[in-house]
Structure formats: C-alpha cells, structure tokens
Structure 1
Amino acid sequence: MNDTLQDAILNGLYDLSYPGHEIVGPKLLTNTKHENIWLTLSYELMHCKNFTWAVAFITQDMLVPFKVIMADLAQQGISGTLITGDYLNFNNPRVFHELLKIDNLSIKIAPKNGFHVKGYFFEHDDWQTMIIGSANFTRSALLSNYELALKVSAKENATLTKQINKQLETLKKVSQELTSSWLQTYEQSWVRPQIKWQTKSQLPISQEIVPNQMQKAALKQLRQLIARGQSRGLIVSATGTGKTYLGAFAVKSFKPQKFIYVVHREQIARNALASFYQVIGGAKNDYGLLTGNKHELNRKYIFATVQTLSQSKVLAELSQTEFDYILIDEAHRSAAPSYQRIFKKFKPKFWLGMTATPERMDNQDVYQLFDYNLAYEIRLRDALKEQMLTPFHYVGVADYEVDNEVIDETANLRYLLAPKRVDYVLQQLDYYGYCGNRAKGLVFCSRQEEARELAQAFSAKGYPAVALTNQDSEKRRQEVVEQLERGKLDYIITVDLFNEGIDIPALNQIVMLRNTQSSIVFIQQLGRGLRKYAGKDYVTVIDFIGNYKNNYLIPIALNQDNSRDIDQVRKETILPGFIDVSTINFSQIASTKILASLDKIKLDSVKELKQSYQELKEKIGRVPLLFDFANYGSTSPEVFANHTGFQNYAQFLVKMGESVKLTEFENAILSFLTKELLNGKRPHELLLLQALLTKEYISHREFENILKRFGTYCNEAVLKSVLAILSLDFFNVKQRQTTKKTQYGGQSLVQQDDLLNYVLAPKLSQALQNNHIFKQLFTDVVNTGLKINQRYNKQEQFTLYQQYERKDVCRLLDWPKDVSAPMYGYRVDKKETPIFITYEKDSSQKRNALYHNTLEDGQTLRWYTRAPRHIDSDEVKRLLNTPKMKLHLFVKKSDAIGKKFFYLGQADIQRKTVKEELLGPKKKAVVGMNLRLQQPLESKMYQLLFE
C-alpha cells in the first residue's frame, strides 16, 4: 500500500503523471445527481479500523442510515468517537438521545467556545483518511446541499496526520462525555434556534390553494385529452401527492353543470367534499353527500360511496345524463360489479379515473375502462424527487434468530410471539427511532391472531398498541387512528388493512413484520407514512427480513425497478440507495438474505415476462413493442434479447397468443438483430439500417455524415467492421455442427453496390416490402437499440463500468471474426488485448480458480497468463513488447452472475512485477504481472466487484 498511497498523493497534489487512486487519492467531494458526500463517508466507515468525527451540527434525519452501518460495525468489534457540542443551540436534544442508543459510539461534548468544526477522520492499518470541509452531519449537507469537502489520505507518520491526531487528542481531553445528567441540563435550558433561512416546508402557506408543478402538468394533459374529443381519462398519482386536490382542479377547469365523485368509503367522500370546497368554493349548499345516511341528490357537487350509488333504487332515480362529469377515485377498483353498474348506467361528457396503483393483482384491465387514455402519471420516485412527499429512511434488518434458525412469519405463532423475539423487534424499533418525540407507528404483520397478541405484548412492554383487522368496524378504526394521532397510542398493528384508503399523516414509523408478497402492496404500505405533516421531516421504515423466497422483491419495490434485469437488482441490493434525500439501507445480513433469494429466482421466466407484457398491453391498449417496454420503464428489452426460450420478440409474441407470421428467413434476421444489435453497445450498424429503411441506398460519405451527426466515432476500421457484421461474415465461425452465420439466415443484410454505396440485400428488401409485421418488428429493434445506446459513450469503443460479453468485445474491437468461444481469459492481438477476469472462483476444481487474481490496493490486479507460458513465449513477448499495446480490462465477480463483465478501462503492465511462476497442483508455468488501472476504480465498483 505504501507505493500506492505515495503515488496517489503525488497524483492529486503534485503531478498527474503519477498513478492516481479513487479510494486513497486526494479528492474534492460534493453532492451531485449521481454522487454525494454520504457515499464516501459510509464507504470509509465500512472499511476503517476506527474513526473520530468532530462535527458541530447534527440533525436527527441523518442518524438512521448512520445507525445501520454502526450496527454492522458493532458485529465486527469496530467503534468510533463523535465530538460535537451545543454551539448556537443548533443540536436538538433529541439528537443526543438518539446518539446514546449507539453502543459502539463514544459521544463527547466540546467546550462552549464556538465549536464549529466539520471533520471526519478514519484510521486504517498504517494510514489515515480525513474529510474536512463545509459539510455538517445533516441530511441536507451530506445528500443535497452545495457543499465542498476535501478528502485526503496520509501515512500515520506524516506531518499532517500527526498534526490532526494531536488536535483530536487535545479536543478529546478537553471535551466531556455525553451523560444523562448533561443531557438533562441541556434539555431544560434548550431553546429552539431561530433559523434565518426557510425551507420549502417552512414557507408561509398561501390561503389560496394552487396546483403544484406536477399537478399543472397533469391538468394540461387532461385539457388536451378533452380537446381531442376523448371522454375518458386516467391519472396515476402516488399516495400523498395531492390526488384529491388535482381532481378538484380538474373539475373546476371543466365547469360541469352537475358532478359526482365516487369512492368506496364514506370518510373519504366527506374528506373529498371538504377539499373540493376549498378549491372550487361557491355556496356550501352546492355540495352534498350520497351515502348510507345522506341522499343529497339535488346538489351540484355530490360525493358518493359506490355502495350507495350502485344500488338499483338509487340508479333508478337518476337519468343517464344526470352528470356531465364523473370522477372515480381509487379507480383500480373499477372492474368490480358495483362500479360496473355505474359505468353501464351513466353517459357523462367525461369520466376521470384516479388511482395510486393501477396495476391489479386480479388481472383486471383498469386502463381499458378509461379507453387507455393515461393522461398523467406521478409515481412514488417522481413525487419524492419533486419533494411532494415526506422523505423516508428504509432499513432492512434480519429478523430474530435463535439456535441458527430465523424466526419469521413462516414460523409457528408461539415462536413469533416469544418474549425474546418481541424484545428484539422492540429493540430495533427503538434503535432506529422516528422523527419527533413519540412513536406514531403502523406495524404490518401476517396473521390476525399475531396482530392481536403482538399488540398486547407491545403494550405490556410499555409501548401502547392496538390491533386493527378487517373484523373491526370503520368507527372503531377511526377511533384508534385518532388515539394514535393524539399520542394515546404508539402503534397500530394490522394485517393489510391500511394498504389504501385511510390516511394517517402523523405516522413517523412504518414496520414490516411480514413477507413481501407483492411490489404493489409493498408500495401501498410504504406510502401510508409518506404524506406530509407538520414537524415530520422523515419517516423511518423498518423491514424485518426473514428467509423468504420473495426477498428479491424488496429492492425492486423500493427502487420501482420493473426491468427484471438481475444485474440491476443485484446492484440495488449491494450499493446504498437514494431517491432524492430518501435513503435505502440494508444490514449486511439482510443484504445477504436478499441476494440468496435473488439467486433462486428467474426474473425473466416466461411467466414473469407474460405478466409484464399483459400489464403494458393493458396500459397502452395494443400489442406492445420492445420500444414500448423501454419507453414506459417496464421490462428491459435486453431481457427479451438474452432469453434462451425464444430467439426474437416475434417468437415471444407467438407464445403470448398473438398472430405473427414470419418466414424462416425473417425469423433468422430478427434473431440476428435481437441477439447481436439490440443491446445498443455500438450504434453504427443500427444507424445504417435505420437510414436504409427510408432510402434505397446510402453512399459512403452519407454514412460518415450520419455517424458524425449522431456524435459517434468513425474510421476505416469501424466501417469495415460494420460491413462484416451486416454481411454476417463476422459470424462465419463454426460452432458445433454449423456456423452462427447459418443460424442467422446465412445471407447478408447489407451489401455494397458497384459504386460502393450501401444497399439492403435483395432478399431482405423484398421481405420488408412484402410483410408489414416483419418490417414493424425489424424497425422496432433498430429504434430500441438506438434508445438503449443513449447510456453509452458515443466517442469510445467501450464505456467505463458498462457490461460486455466476450462477443461484444470482439465486435467493438473491429475484429474480422467472432472468436469469443476460444478466447477464454484474454487474446493478444496486434494492437489491443482484452483481458477477462473472474474475481471470485466458484470452484477450486475449475481451471480459472488456479489463477489467483487479487486486487492488491484498489487499483492494481495481479494477473496471470494461461498455462503453460514462459517469459520467452511468443504470446508473452507480443504482450510485453508491442509498442502502445492497449490492454482493456473486464472483470466480473463470479461465474454465477452470467457472461457479462464490467469494463474497468485500460490498464498498464507494471514491468518490475513481471515474473514466471508455477501455479496449481501440477505446478504449471505461467507469467504473472501487476495490471494497474489507468482510471482509478470508483468506490461503488470496488464494493460491487471486490467485496
């Protein structure tokens, strides 16, 4: 590490020619769209031997993710010190109470002499990392504010390290331990400081209710829909985003003669009436209810329960054109018979459906009921980013374990309710805490008996709780909710009762003591606590993760990731997650359980893809194309491309029961496009095909201009490669009994005429003219591939940290043939050498397990040639002695994750490290050498690949 650290310091502070290092090199930290200061702090915490933080200001809203890491560090015997103070009375006493819950943290209070420090210090083996700058230990400073902090690493015997350690030791000596008595005194004298600035939530509220930005956009889309003569529309709006107000704004804009609002519960109808009156105004007697107790049918604005309105005698009193505007709230219920009677009866000028969750687990087509007119969609992630909801801190912790057996909802009830398990649950709830002075929590469990007995156990332990199930009346439910809001209760314990419909804005803790069976239900339950409420800065979400087969759904639901891309889900589980200032945190044990669940599931099973296909078909009202999947953020088109059950999307459509008739040749061409070009890793072939779909021929110069306008690179080698790909010559390599070229139809897609213009091959041209379905699917792959290409660097062959298979590398290196099959670990070519490294070896018996590649310092890999090889072997001499030889390094964590490798950039051979070695039980000769990355490895990639 000594040389690495020295080079990194010299690179950062003296001269770029020295090798840099992402992890230990000097670096300026700030908060951006993709990075934030907390990411660096959390990485340093997880990799240090101990730490000292000296920070003046701390807010409670950043303590939850900090506690997750501290709990993991406690398991490893690692502790730290936090020095803070009472300067300007900034630190709320509640912060100190929460810090005292962290057993492996020593908290010291600095003297009252203007303590205004912001420094984070981490000790490693024989060196130290320090982060000093403007950022306090607050959510805004570490996640979103414009802050600057300098990260520097230095040896323990360096002057700077000694200066800092001396300062810290002095500071520790003059500081006092945080004790209960000090905190009691501070609490008694503490006065909330007057903040000179105001956040959005603190700005004075206007008396007039006006649409927010997303509501304005939705209203505009609705107006355009009505202007086009449409009579139905659907708005998808996440819970807490002002769905009722949005409906009121829409009705106010339409100016109906008579309007009715339909929902499934009287309390919601009453609340909606009040909200509409606030927005629309007018005479109070214009507003009325149609419920079990009230039949105010002569009013202009009527708020009805579906149970009452759908009654035959009520419907008989009303004409078909009684209402010119009908709004169906919770529109995902609209397929129910009661709602259908309403749809059949009335003929208004416009139907508006509103829902937070249009996806139905009963496969009812909600979109069809509203003529597939999705006017606008405000999903949870978007609402959080627009700060329409209260941020959350999600914590995934392992459920209680005894005698190496996890006690989760699948266990016998007596184990679920065992005193030690209840104590464990309450310890976690107390440790991770909540915003405010008292818990207002909602606990979801799996059985009614469990809910009732847990409520008794919680109450007996001093945490007043009540169970609510579907056996309780609405009046009883409302009474219990009011008790929670008034502070008479700490917890309501329920079984799926509060998934939708009931709002408890005061909730500051959501607890999940059940298996995640559905992403839809997970989001519904999470959404219960996200509605904004005075004094609520965040919601703590605590999820107890057992040995469930559905654990893989948790990161999918939290990130609203519908891609069914297993690599993406794996990243979301391993790396810290953020949605604006909301954080997603898994304990190490919980993360391991999720990854184990992920290894056992096929996200791309035909059953899963069929469900995705049907959902999107319902949403858009027609057979979806691959481009639709990409455009609507549904299943990744690459999942279809990589599937072994079908060679192209046409074959998938046939499995779905669609009538798609293609010739054998057309099927082969679509398979080629899907398997080789849809991934968008290079746009050149796609751009040429796109141009030839509209023009009879494209000249050499025209194609170069197309590439230039697209912003991608162009040279003779790549132009030659494009022709080799589209003529299928690249694939003319024997595999088993045939060649890949034969599998793809054996004939060129593109040729050059006598004037060297590019033209479509006659057979392909004829097929595109004769079969419009084939042309549609052909065009779809081309357009989708170009959309996917947007994530790649257009100016480079390879994009840093993107994934590639060996066959992709052969194509992007402009090689004349696909030699990926015999390539194995590397191939020394004339000017470029790709090297593929599997970091973790799945089996000691496998050949590649003998090559003990190691990441020695975060930037240098020890790498070995294949055996037998010697220093004077031709291959080794070409590798070492070819001038300007480019080494491209591709790494994956294990063979279990598939064929894709992450591109880590170019690497240089450290000449002094090259030597002949003997490896394996048979002591075969290989040549080992250190490969040093030209681009220092980002900490996120280090975590993903090497930990």
Structure 2
Amino acid sequence: MERALQKAFMNRSLRGSKYDPQIIINQPEKKEYFLNVLQNELDTCQEFFFSIAFVTQGGLNALKTHLADLDRQGVKGRLITSTYLNFNHPDVFTSLLAIPNLEVRISGKPGFHAKGYLFTQEDYQSFIIGSSNLTMNALKVNYEWNVRLTSYDHGEMIHQIRENMKNEWAEAEPLTPDWIMNYAQTYQPMLFTHEDLILKNDLSPYITPNKMQQAALKKLSELRVSGEKKGLIISATGTGKTYLGAFDVLQAKPKRMLFVVHREQILNSAMASFQKVMGGAASDYGVLSGNKKETEAKYLFATIQTISKEAHHERFAKDYFDYILVDEVHKAGAQSYLKLLNYFEPAFLLGMTATPERTDGYNIFGLFDYNIAYEIRLQEALEEDFLCPFHYFGVTDYETAQGVISETSELQALVTHERLHFLLEKIRYYGCSHNEPRGLVFCSRKEEAKTLAGLFLREGIPAAYLTGEHSVEERERVIAQLERGEINYIFTVDIFNEGIDIPKINQVILLRNTESSIIFIQQLGRGLRKDPSKEFVTIIDFIGNYKNNYMIPMSLSGDITRNKNNLRQKTFETNYISGVSSINFESIAKERIFQSIDRAKMDSMVELRRIYQEVKNRLNRTPYLFDFQEQGVLDPLVLANKFEHYHEFLTKIKETESELTKNEGQLLKFFGRELLPGYRQHELLLIHQMIHGKVNFTHEELVELFTGYDLAYDQATIDSVFATLSLSFYVGGQRKSYDGGAFLTQEGEILTITNGLRQALNNPYFVELLKDSLAVAFEKSKAYRTDMPLTRYKKYRRRDTIRLLNWKEQMVDQNIGGYTYKDGQFVVFVTLKKDEDFKGALMAYEDELLDAQTLHYFTKSPRTIHSPEVKILQNPIDWNIYVFAQKSNDEGTDFYYLGEVRPVIETIKQVEKPTKDGKKQSVVQMNLSFTEPIDHRLFQYLSSTED
C-alpha cells in the first residue's frame, strides 16, 4: 500500500500492484472503459455501496450478471440514488427492485449529484469517485474522469467516506413498490430524451442517406460507370438496406424497376419506404402478388412466388425492367429465383442480403459477378449507430436431476414447471426496455414452443406460438398482436430467423443450441431494428450443456477464425462490442463455453472444405493463407498445425494449381510450424530479403537490417535467428521432422542461403506459397512487441519461449516439464487445473493463483531447500524469472505469458507430499509475486474452478 502511494504521487517507476491509484477514462479506440473497472471490482468484492445520482436500465444491465454471480456467493450491496432533475425513469426503479442482493434507498437531499462506488475487498477497501453515473454512455462512451483509490480499514479518507454514506443511508427512504407507484404518477420526463430524438428523426419529411448508404451509393454508381451490370450489398439487418435500394433507384433513374421479395408483408413495407424516398404519384407504384396484379406500374414490387411463375414473368419482355432489385438474395440458389434471374436481362441487377454465405455451398457471389458494392457487418453497424443497442446475457440453463439441459434432453425435461419458473425468474431479472416485453423466444423443437406458450398463458403472461405449419395469415395475425401489446411473447422454431420485421421487439430469448454463427446473428438481429418504443434490446441466451457453445463467442465477436485461444479470450474479455451495447456471461455459463471450446474439433475436413469453398466463391479464385487471414474466416495456424503445409491441404481437396518437391514442402512446413505465428520479425525480414534475391549476409548487414526496423541486434539475438533458420536450434524428433527445411547455412563469416532454398526459389509456385506465408506472418507479428522478446498475455509453446529468449538449443517438452533455467533466465510453466491422469504429475501439485499478483508454486519432486534451483530462487538477484500458465491441459501445448515474478523469500518452505504410489517426496513451495498484476479478466479465467 505504501509503495502504491509512492508510485502514484512520488515515483512512477516503482513496481505496480492492485493497490495503485488509477485515473479511469473511457477510451473506445483502445476498448478500455470505466465499465470494465467497475465489473472487475464487483467480481472480487465482499460487499459494495454505490452512491449514484443517475441510473438507467442500460447501465444497470451491464452489471446484472456480475450481481447475479455475487448473489450466488451470498454477497450483497447497497445503492443510494435520487430523483434529481427527474432523470431516473420509474422503469429503472422497478428494475432495481428485482435485484435480490441489492438494497436501494432514495435520497431526499436537494441537488443530490453523487457518483461514488465503494467496494470491500478481501484485505482492503477500494473506491471510485468521479464523473460517471450508472448509465451506458457514462460507462463506455462519454469522456469521463474517475479516480480509483485503495485504503486499509483504518485510513482517514475511507473513514470519512463511510461516515458520510452511513448518514446519507440513514436519512434516505427505502425503495418499495408503493414508492415506485407514487413516483410514476407524478413523474415528468426530462425535456429531451433518447426517445424524443428518435421520434423527431422519424417524423422528419426528408430522408437522406446515412454514412453507410452514401459509401454504397458511390460504389454502385462507379460499378455502372465501369460497365458492370450487377452488384451485391452485404449489410446487417436493420442498417437500411431497403432505403439504400430506393436511393440507388433514385440515382440510376430507370424507366421501370422490379423489386423482388419472398414475403408479402415485406413487399408492402418496402414499397412504402420507396415512396418515402422517391416520391411521385401513387400510380407509379404497384404490387404483383397472389392478391394483386398491378403490372402496369413503373415501380413493381413482386413476391418471388408470383413473379417466378412462367405465366407471370413471360408477360414481360426480357429487358422490360431496367433495374431489378432482389431482397434477401442469399435465397437466390432456389429454383424460383434462378428461373427469374435466368429470364430477365436488366441494365442493372442489385442483390441485398445480411448473410451471403449459404449452407448448401451455392455461390451467391458468382451470381453477382463478384461485385461486392458494400459490406457492413454487425460490429461496424453498431459502431456507426445504425442498430438499436443490445444487452446480451449468457445465463445458465436449468439443471435437473439428470443434469443440465442439453441437445439430447427429452421434451418432458424442457417443459417442467420447475424449468418454467426458473426461466421466468431469469427473464424477469434481466428484463427489457421499459419493462413491457415484446419478446421473441426461439425454441429447440415445435412441441417445446407450443407447450411453453401454453404454460406462459397459465402464468398470466399472454403468449402464442408459431411454427412452419402455420399459414402466412396466421403468422401476420400473431405478429400484429405482439406489436399492439396484446401478447408479450411469440414462441417459435427457426421460422423467424430472417425476413421478418417486428421493430417493437425488445427482448429475444434463446432456448436452443447454437447451430451456426449465421443463424445466431439472424436470431439476434430480430430485435436490432431501431424503434421509438425501446432504448435497447435484451438478449437472454440460456446456455445448456451444448457441444456447440463455442459458437457463441464466435458469433458475438465476429471472430470465425476457429482459433481456440481467440475464442477463450472473446469469452472472458467481452469489451470488443462497440457503443452502448454490452455482452455479459454468468460465471457458470462462461465455464460451459470454455468446456465446449476445449472439446470442439475446429479443424475437421468437412468444416475446412466448407470454409475454403466460401472464400473461393467470394474471390472467384483459389484462396491462399493470407486470404483466410484477411477475410477473418479461418486462422491460417489451424491449417499449418493440421497439415504439413497449405499445398498438402489443397492436394487433399483436389484444388492444387502446381506441384512441389519434397524439399520445397519441407521449407514450407518449417515456416508454417515455427515462423507463421509471427512471434519475432527478424527471421521474416531475412526470408523477405532472400525471396528478393539476397543470398549472402554479413554481420554488419544483419545489424543494419535489424536496426532499420528498430529490432534488437545484439549478438545473442543474431545467433538465435541463425540457429532458427539453420535448424541448429532444433533437436531430436523435431529436428528430424524439418530435415531439408533449413533456410540458412554458414560459410566462414558469411551466412548464406542453403542449396535447397536456392533450388526452391526457381519454382514460381513455391515462391508464391512462401510469399503468402510470409504475408500472414508479418500480419500476425503486429500483435507482438518488438522491444521485448515476449508479449504479456500472448500464448507460446515451451520451445517458442526459450527460442525467443535466445537459448542456443531446444529442450524437448518432457525434459522441461514445469520449469527450466539457464544463464540468468528461469522459465516456469504452470498448468493450474490438472486432470487426474495429467502426465507430468507424479504427485498432486497444487499450483494456484492466489490473486492477480501472487502465484502459489511448487517445485518438481524430489527437491529440497538445498536443491540448485531452490538456491537460485532464494537469491534471484541476477535472474529473470518468467511465468507461463494454462488453465488446463485441455488447452494444448501453449501457455499464456503472465510476466516476470520475484519469489517472496519468507514463503519458501520444504514440505512432504504424497506421490501416486502412496509414498512421500519432498518438494519446495513458495509464493511468486508478479512485478505487474495480471490482467483481471485473464486472472478470473485462469483461476475459476466451476465445472
């Protein structure tokens, strides 16, 4: 604590700790928010007290899963707020009252404008005082200043804060249902609210293109000027695709236009949008459907079911329409669409979709000549404020005597009264905007939807269900009931994944396994259209013991690279979502996702072939590794670790363009397995030079090259780079597997390329594949520091670690085990959650992260207080000690680099522990203190133990 105060106010170079004072400012460009600090404090506290003037439902939502986890642990808190300026809406008080472990009181003090957050931690107090209220804008978007300080119980400042809070609490009025009812009756909203601004925009008589539409219109115009006749718009649901189509028709000025949709309801709303943008006489607009045949109209809006019939489309000449626009064009692989598109010959054809990828492999991109006019996905749409903000809650599903709900659960387990009341409790807790649900519930099967809708009705909650067996008219009737507020919920199975527009939906509930990222986003998107009736959408995802749970972080983050490390990170670090939206997981639900990631087989040939075909369809050529990297659809490391090289994968799927010799394959194999991750740029720069004709390197030339890129150029680093590229670093089976794959050899004082590489560079196809791998490696290297050999929180294999620390020769993993040490470098590898059959465990090691700054650690056995490594740890003055950790051996062979540590000398102690054969051996235990605390989210992930 003393060092923290010295660091903050006297000497910033001192070692940091969890006690350090901190200025907290929202920095969206860095994905750093006050919200994350607040969540971190909550996650570790034993009690909390908030004194906050302004609270919104959105701000409260960002803390609800954390409060639910605290409730499960028996941790309670208090909040004191006010009615100052009538900012707090009556709905937020109702939401506050629904949180069981939060006691709320209302201050009557005039001008109550406090913003203070106090937390009782295990051995200290922490408090945050500043400008941030409990609103999503304050937590993530606004430019706010807050200061976090820590104190022991006997500190003067914490004493003053507690006394003030105690007095305010005693004078404040408890929040009760009667108080809320009285407040609601006299409540007068602030003059300008979020809803007022939306209404004002909606009532404006003028519609102008938004930023996305302006860029797309420019690209569409350029396509036509260049002579292209087709274009494809890929745009997230709710971003204004229909208006964009109208704007483009306005700028293209066709004599006749055809707009094709797959449902009549969409047809009518689309025509209304076009009229709003383009104006003109009502007689210019007509409908061609089962009910209407207004074929003389200048702008014709048709259902595919009608226009695709030969009797209808052949009444028009092939070139009758100058402009044809097809909505939801990802359906265009169906015969009805193909018949239409094969017949008509417009001057320009525009396709619009949120999801161009198809599960049947049909090439939508090819249908539009690979002309992607514009593309905007979920993350970008949120950043541009095109969509309604959402709060996603990943919550645990019901657990029966037979186990947690899963894809194999029988119907009777899904519709028990116990599960019903469990669901209702969660739904009420997480709530919705203004507490009046207009909910869409996606179920796993038809009978579940039907039965749950009936059970909701019996509970007094108006609900209905819809499946594929219901007629269009029945669907329209039930949707209208939801929009009018006559029912609160529609239970359904898949039929509303797409092509449905119910702007008033403010709650989406997922009671099913995530089958694909596409379907997940489609279902999420049902609530993302903006509407004056809501400020945000609540997404409640009941996460059972499903094998596909790994698709949840994949879908939410848009990271579909199939890299398990990325998915783990996207689960415990959810600050990637933009704007005032939030993603939160209850801790047990989070554990289920981690388990799914560990078990998932992300590199099956079926999946890899499907991804390959998708990218090929988009590019209209053979994709290469950098294409996968750039498109963000597959991490090239997945392919590098499964196949000897990319050419082997192409060979297996019969997509090769040329051949490689065995020697060329070995060079690519070595590069893919060792250099593709981009840990260090030195080797990459040398290979780049080799590709461009450089065959010899002097020491001076290496120094000049590395200094030119601000890289280390000391002799140890240069020797390590040569040992890597000459393969002399590698030993045993690893060395043998790379035989023939060396890039460099030495002749006297000169480093020169090997004969094998010299010959391979004569093959243009090999050079192309090597350049491709090099481009990926350079791109990946951007994630790593260049001023340090290791980057905190990145994952490394054991051999990567000692290579980057410039050791001359690889040690096989089995010989390293839990640690190795040499020449002033001590490298520790810890698996925190070991299986019973953990290969390296001769005894039950109990390595444990005690907190974000302390690792309780055991040496190998048998060791005593006099063992060489223990002597080093007792007096580590000239040693750097690096710690790497993985949560469990299910995570493979790589470890997070957590940073450097110093042993806490007084904790070093020799103990006896039982071995597997029932005997005892001596080991030495100690605490290792990190020089900088571990990132809180990573610490939580590594130290959590829920099963």
TM range (shorter): over 0.9
Q: Which residue is 1:60 aligned to?
A: 57
Distance 1:263 1:371 in 2: 21
Q: How does 1:792-831 map to 2 (within 5 A)?
A: 792-821=784-813, 822-831=815-824
224-233 or 495-504, larger mean C-alpha shift: 224-233
**Secondary structure of 1:51 counterpart:** strand
CA deviations 1:407-463 (Å, max 9, x no partner) are 567444344333333232222222211102521111112333333333232222221
Farther-moved stretch of structure 1 (351-360 vs 511-520) = 511-520
Equivalent AA in structure 1 for residue 16 of structure 2: G
Q: Does 1:32 align with 2:24?
A: no
Q: Which residue pairs with 1:767 in the alignment? A: 760
Q: More displaced, 920-929 or 889-898?
A: 920-929
The superposition leaves residues 565-605 of structure 1 with CA deviations (integer Å, 9 ceiling, x where unpaired) of: 11222233334455112212222232233333333321222
Alignment partner, residue 607 of structure 2: 608
1:428 is aligned to 426
1:655 counterpart (652, 656, 659)? 652
SS in 1 for 2:729: helix
- The CA distance in 2 between the partners of 1:241 and 1:842, in whole Å, is 48
Distance 1:407 1:871 in 2: 50
Q: Tell me if structure 1 keeps the 8 A contact 2:36–2:575.
A: no
Match of 1:945 among 939, 942, 947: 942
Q: CA contact under 8 A between 1:842 and 1:849: conserved in structure 2?
A: no
Q: Letter of the 1:808 partner, please give it.
A: D
Match in the other structure for 2:713: 714
Equivalent pair of 2:707/2:713 in contact (CA under 8 Å):
yes
User: Aligned in 2, Cα 1:858/1:293: closer, same or farther, shift over 3 Å?
Assistant: closer
Determine the structure 1 residue equivalent to 2:7.
11
Equivalent residue for 1:94? 91
> Does 1:903 find its partner at 2:897?
yes
Code of the residue aligned with 2:366 in structure 1: it is Q
Say if 1:787 and 1:197 are closer, same or farther in 2 by CA, change over 3 A: same
Query: Residue 720 of structure 2 aligns to a residue in which SS?
Result: helix
Counterpart of 2:632, as a letter, is G
Deviation, 1:93, is 0.9
Task: Quote the offset at 1:306 in angstroms.
Answer: 1.4
Matched ranges for 1:315-394 at <5 A: 315-394=313-392
Cα deviation code 1:807-835 (max 9, x no counterpart): 11122112222224322222222132322
**1:41 counterpart = 2:38:** yes
Q: Distance in 1 between matches of 2:624 and 2:935?
A: 36
Query: Is 2:844–2:914's contact at 8 Å kept on the other side of the alignment?
Result: yes
CA-CA distance at 1:719 after TM superposition: 2.1
Q: What is the aligned partner in structure 2 of residue 230 from structure 1?
A: 228
**Where does residue 746 of structure 1 map in the other structure?**
740
Aligned pairs for 1:509-528 (under 5 A) are: 509-528=507-526
- Summarize deviations over 1:827-857 as a string: whole Å, max 9, x none: 2221323222222333387437554333344
2:553 maps to 1:559: no
1:159 to 2:156 alignment: yes
Shift of 1:193: 1.8
Q: For 2:727 and 2:73, locate their aligned partners in 1 and report how far apart those are by CA, in whole Å.
A: 56
Q: 2:501 aligns to what SS in structure 1?
A: coil
Cα deviation for residue 915 of structure 1 reads 4.9
Q: Judging changes above 3 Å, is the alpha-carbon distance between structure 1 residues 223 and 816 closer, same or farther for their aligned structure 2 residues?
A: farther
Aligned to 2:591: 592
Match of 1:135 among 128, 132, 154: 132
Alpha-carbon displacement from aligned partner over 1:662-706 (angstroms, at most 9, x marks no partner): 211111111001001000111111111112212244654555444
Of stretches 345-354 and 704-713 in structure 1, the one that deviates more from structure 2 is 704-713
Q: Shift in Å at residue 192 of structure 1?
A: 0.6
- Which residue in 2 is equivalent to 1:887? 881
Q: Using the alignment, how far apart are the partners of 1:302 and 1:709 within structure 2?
A: 63
Q: How many residues align?
A: 933
1:517-550 per-residue CA deviation (whole Å, 9 max, x = no partner) reads 2221111111010000014111011122223222
The residue matched to 2:833 in structure 1 has which SS?
coil
Deviation at residue 203 of structure 1 after TM alignment: 6.7
Cα contact 1:512–1:542 (8 A) shared by 2: yes
Q: How many Å apart are 1:883 and its aligned residue?
A: 5.6
SS state at 1:303 partner = strand
Greater shift after overlay, 416-425 or 245-254?
416-425
Any stretches of 5+ residues in structure 2 without a counterpart? none
CA distance in 1 between partners of 2:738 and 2:101 (Å):
62
1:805 is matched by which residue type in structure 2? R
Contact 2:438 2:505 in 1 (8 A): yes
Q: State the alpha-carbon separation in 2 of the partners of residues 258 and 404 from structure 1.
A: 63
More deviation, 701-710/659-668: 701-710
Q: Quote the Cα distance in structure 2 between the aligned partners of 1:409 and 1:720.
A: 55
User: Whole-Å Cα distance in 2 between the matches of residues 10 and 864 of structure 1?
Assistant: 32
Checking the alignment, whether the CA contact within 8 Å between 2:199 and 2:532 is kept in structure 1 is no
Displacement, 1:299? 3.2
Q: Is the 8 A contact 1:408 1:416 kept in 2?
A: no
1:404: Cα distance to partner? 5.3
Distance 1:905-1:918 versus aligned 2 partners, 3 A rule: same
- Alpha-carbon distance change, 714 to 164 in structure 1, aligned in 2, over 3 angstroms: same
TM-score in terms of structure 1 length: 0.93
Paired residue for 1:440? Answer: 438
Tell me the SS of whatever aligns to 1:516: coil
Deviation of 1:778 after TM superposition, in Å, equals 1.3
Q: 1:293 to 1:944 in 2, by over 3 A?
A: same
Aligned residue number for residue 791 of structure 1: 783
Query: Secondary structure at 2:899's aligned position in 1?
Result: strand
CA distance in 2, matches of 1:699, 1:728: 17
2:666/2:741 contact within 8 Å kept? no
Deviating more after overlay: 355-364 vs 821-830: 821-830
For residues 169-189 of structure 1, the C-alpha deviation after alignment (integer angstroms, 9 at most, x for no partner) is: 111211121122222221211
| Residue 69 of structure 2 corresponds to residue 76 of structure 1 | no
**Which residue type is aligned with residue 353 of structure 2?**
T
CA drift at 1:923: 4.8
- Equivalents in 1 of 2:779, 2:708: separation in Å? 16
Instruction: Indicate if the aligned counterparts of 1:108 and 1:177 stay in contact, CA closer than 8 A.
Output: yes
CA contact (8 A) 2:521 2:555 kept: yes
Compute the displacement of 1:916 (Å). Answer: 4.7
Q: Distance in 2 between matches of 1:742 and 1:418?
A: 60
The answer for the alignment partner of 1:627 in structure 2 is 626
Q: Does 1:192 align with 2:170?
A: no
Distance change (3 Å), C-alpha of 1:710 and 1:266: farther
1:132-531 to 2 correspondence within 5 Å?
Answer: 132-195=129-192, 201=198, 204=201, 206-403=204-401, 405-407=403-405, 410-531=408-529
Alignment deviations for residues 893-931 of structure 1 (CA, whole Å, 9 cap, x no partner): 222211111112222334444455545545544454443
Report the 3-state secondary structure (helix = DSSP H, G, I; strand = E; otherwise coil) of the residue aligned with 1:91.
coil
Residue 140 of structure 1 deviates from its aligned partner by 0.9
Structure 1 segment 725-744 matched on structure 2, within 5 A: 725-731=724-730, 733-735=731-733, 740-744=734-738
Out of 830, 855, 863, the position equivalent to 1:861 is 855
1:81 positional shift: 0.9
Percent sequence identity over aligned pairs: 42
Q: CA deviation at 1:108?
A: 1.0
- Compute the displacement of 1:759 (Å): 4.7
Structure 2: how far apart are the matches of 1:685 and 1:424? 57
Which of residues 655, 666, 669 is equivalent to 1:668? 666
* Contact in 2 for aligned 1:916/1:925 (Cα 8 Å): yes
Instruction: Report Cα offsets for 1:274-325 as digits up to 9, x if no partner.
Output: 2223223344433322222333333332222112221112232222222232
Give the secondary structure class of the aligned counterpart of 1:555. Answer: helix
Shift in alpha-carbon separation, 1:328–1:719, aligned structure 2, 3 A: same
Structure 1 position 121, deviation (Å): 1.1
SS of alignment partner, residue 820 of structure 2: coil
